[in-house]
Structure 1
Amino acid sequence: MSAMADFQQDGADTGTLRFTGDLSLANIGNLPDRLEAVDAASIKRVDLSQVDRIDTIGAWIVHRFAARNDATIDGLNADGQNLFDQVVASDQPLAARGKPVGSVKRVLGEIGDAVVLTGRTMLGLLAFLGATTIAFGSVIRHPKRFRFNAVVQRFEVVGIAALGIVGLMSFLIGVVIAQQGAVQLRQFGAEVFTINLVGRLTLRELGVLMTAIMVAGRSGSAFAAQLGTMKLTEEIDAMRTIGVSPMEALVLPRVLAAIVMMPLLAFYASLIAIIGGGLLCWIQLGIPPVTFIARIREVVPITDLYIALIKAPVFGAIIAVAGCFQGMQVEADAEQVGLRTTSAVVQGIFLVIVLDAFFAVFFTWIGWD
């Protein structure tokens, strides 16, 4: 059975307090009360060399006593010293809970935090876009570093694999536009203008916009998840270690693939939407395909196609940069991958819609309406 914890002042040196026995919860007894009666100011050293065993409670009692006059503590073995160090490190003051914040002030604070976060994200996105541009310039100066196979693989992921879902979505959008337009125009006896509605709306706006939203949800999220996972597994750090630029090897092929494939996907989506609208006009309004095509050629100016082909690569670049940027921001744990992937999709769609609004105003201003 272990001896009860005890202490005594060294007869030769009254400034030393020597503990003996078992400094554990089961054998401490009234030791804390007895220590309160000791003149701590006269104690400069605490000797624990004769202590048989010490636990967290015993270490805390000794630490609290020694801290009253900054006395030194020695005599512990390696395990005891490790335990004592952890107890000392845990002796930190707790922050008191502040007064509850009013609802108005709290909402204003959350709005302010959101604005600051948005500003930082936009600055980071601009910086990442600049880094991507620098990487593109570096590849132009050193063509051997261009990863053609990686770009071709991304062509398949971004473009070819998306043909099915983009085509189905566009076909249904064309059908819906034609059906709803015909219902509304029938009130004025102008069902024939449904062709105008389908042709101009799909080719100029909805074809490229809906394709961009689909690519953001499909490819932008994939870019963020892929790069985020590589960041967690330290593959990107390993690439930097061996002298390979992640911007050139990972980001640039994805951005180039999105820029090249977006105009093709947008044109494809517009054609499928027009086919869907023409099919409904044939079935519901009795307009034969030959008449539908001839009317499309009359009412849809070539500038609508130019507008779609100008907007598409810009949208593709924004989606790819947003996805890669969010993926490269992943840190700490796997939960960040999901959060950054969600942010990539939201950010990509938001920026696409904002840019589409600017494009609409700009092209109207220059007379392409």
Structure 2
Amino acid sequence: MNAQAAFSHERAGDGDVLRFTGNLSLARIGDLPERLRAYAGPVDRLDLSDIERIDTVGAWVVHRFASEHDAKIEGLDADGEHLLAQVQAADQNVSMRPAHVGSFTRVLGEIGEATSIALKTTVGLLGFMGATVIALGNVIRHPSRFRFNATVQRFEVVGVSALGIIGLMSFLIGIVIAQQGAVQLRQFGAEVFTINLVGRLTLRELGVLMTAIMVAGRSGSAFAAQIGTMKLTEEVDAMRTIGVSPMEALVLPRTLAVVLMMPLLGFYSSLIAIIGGGLLCWISLDIPPITFIQRIREVVPITDLYVGLVKAPVFGAIIAIAGCFQGMMVEADAEQVGLRTTSAVVQAIFLVIVLDAFFAVFFTWVGWT
């Protein structure tokens, strides 16, 4: 055993044979590759029936020699044949540079790939929405399975902790709307209509829309990162193993929290934006707060408030489901967490804007203008 690898030439009736002996492994192969390269005699077959052992290195040396001399390899057992087949399959030319692809073909391929990913994501998101509705139905039928403490904790994270940043954002947006509106309306001597602009735009559109974008960037990304990390650490699989539904324990509390908090945050954002616009009107246009409030009550119909309150929970559901869906899609490595978190924010904001356009057309159609 462990004899040094060697070979000898024999003349048989059906051709020239190189008979290999010894151990064709990395530890004992020695100078066999050099001696094979120096061999210049005829060869038709390689007989490996007398070898003691062969590993990947030995199989590679034999395969390369057989390929160069167009010789047949024989005498291996089943394991040796399998190893040789794997080595032969791996012996392929590697292109150092990718094949040149035309610009039109490349762009067309990228568009096709993006379309395929978008369709798959849409189907997956719709299926995830269905699974969330089923989980809600199960909790309604079995109230003891409702995670009350987890939902209340999400109220704090999604709502209370966001009051500061949403309030600051809304206050500044109200100031910007009033300032830009006053500058443009001053050309027509209609600065007083700045109040109409601030009141209707914030209550009907920008208040809830900007809040949804802020919640998507703040809470939607957090949902994706949290659930994605749990997927990597196999906590989600562990929950399934012990009989706990991840949809009921992870997704449903987050979704309910965002759906219930979005109308409150949207209303809060609209009020702060109106306060910011009123402050600028007081300073820049000399419109006192009492006059501003009275004018707001006259020109802003109650339907504008209803429009914002109707849109808010729908936006909240989309944000929460998109974040949880992307978190559940995390696989393989930590890089996926970052990618899925980014996808959750982009997807949520895109869907919110699409739905906002749909709501604008719908409410105009029903007469809430």
Residues 135, 252 of structure 2: 8 Å contact kept: yes
Whole-Å separation in 2 of the counterparts to 1:219 and 1:230: 16
How far apart are residue 71 of structure 1 and its match?
1.5
Corresponding residue for residue 315 of structure 1? 315
Q: TM-score, normalised by structure 1?
A: 0.88
Whole-Å separation in 1 of the counterparts to 2:78 and 2:62: 13
2:21 pairs, out of 11, 16, 19, with: 19
* 1:331 is the counterpart of 2:335: no
2:34 pairs, out of 29, 36, 55, with: 29
SS in 2 for 1:163: helix
How far apart are residue 32 of structure 1 and its match?
3.7
Superposition pairs of residues 274-289 of structure 1, within 5 angstroms: 274-289=274-289
Residues 47, 75 of structure 1: 8 Å contact kept: no
Please, what is the CA RMSD of the aligned residues? 3.0
Per-residue CA deviation, residues 299-338 of structure 1 (Å, 9 max, x unaligned), is 0000000000000000000000000000100011100000
Residues 154, 257 of structure 1: 8 Å contact kept: yes
Change (3 A) 1:90 1:75: closer
Amino acid at match of 1:69: K
Per-residue CA deviation, residues 41-75 of structure 1 (Å, 9 max, x unaligned), is xx5543222x7xx7865442234457843523369
Per-residue CA deviation, residues 259-299 of structure 1 (Å, 9 max, x unaligned), is 00000000000000000000111111111111100000000
Deviates more, 1:61-70 or 1:312-321: 61-70
Change (3 A) 1:62 1:35: farther
SS in 2 for 1:47: strand
Superposition pairs of residues 224-303 of structure 1, within 5 angstroms: 224-303=224-303
Change (3 A) 1:98 1:219: closer
Whole-Å separation in 1 of the counterparts to 2:135 and 2:88: 47
2:74 pairs, out of 68, 71, 76, with: 71
Corresponding residue for residue 158 of structure 1? 158
Unaligned runs of 5+ in 1: none
How far apart are residue 86 of structure 1 and its match?
10
Residues 4, 30 of structure 2: 8 Å contact kept: no
Superposition pairs of residues 17-166 of structure 1, within 5 angstroms: 17-20=19-22, 23-24=28-29, 26=31, 28-34=33-39, 37-40=42-45, 45-49=48-52, 57-64=57-64, 68-73=71-76, 88=87, 91-94=90-93, 99-166=99-166
Whole-Å separation in 2 of the counterparts to 1:29 and 1:57: 14
Superposition pairs of residues 177-188 of structure 1, within 5 angstroms: 177-188=177-188
Whole-Å separation in 2 of the counterparts to 1:75 and 1:220: 56
Whole-Å separation in 1 of the counterparts to 2:114 and 2:158: 32
Whole-Å separation in 2 of the counterparts to 1:25 and 1:265: 76
The size of the alignment, in residue pairs, is: 358
Whole-Å separation in 2 of the counterparts to 1:249 and 1:7: 68
Superposition pairs of residues 211-226 of structure 1, within 5 angstroms: 211-226=211-226
Whole-Å separation in 1 of the counterparts to 2:174 and 2:216: 21
Change (3 A) 1:255 1:337: same
Unaligned runs of 5+ in 2: none
* 1:355 is the counterpart of 2:355: yes
* 1:196 is the counterpart of 2:196: yes
Residues 25, 57 of structure 1: 8 Å contact kept: no
Deviates more, 1:61-70 or 1:136-145: 61-70
Amino acid at match of 2:360: A
Residues 19, 48 of structure 1: 8 Å contact kept: yes
Per-residue CA deviation, residues 128-169 of structure 1 (Å, 9 max, x unaligned), is 000000000011111110000010011011100000000000
How far apart are residue 26 of structure 1 and its match?
4.2
Change (3 A) 1:47 1:269: same
Whole-Å separation in 1 of the counterparts to 2:367 and 2:353: 21
Q: TM-score, normalised by structure 2?
A: 0.88
How far apart are residue 116 of structure 1 and its match?
1.2
How far apart are residue 98 of structure 1 and its match?
7.5
Residues 33, 61 of structure 2: 8 Å contact kept: no
Whole-Å separation in 1 of the counterparts to 2:98 and 2:174: 58
Change (3 A) 1:289 1:98: closer
Whole-Å separation in 2 of the counterparts to 1:198 and 1:259: 26
Change (3 A) 1:75 1:232: closer
Residues 8, 19 of structure 2: 8 Å contact kept: yes
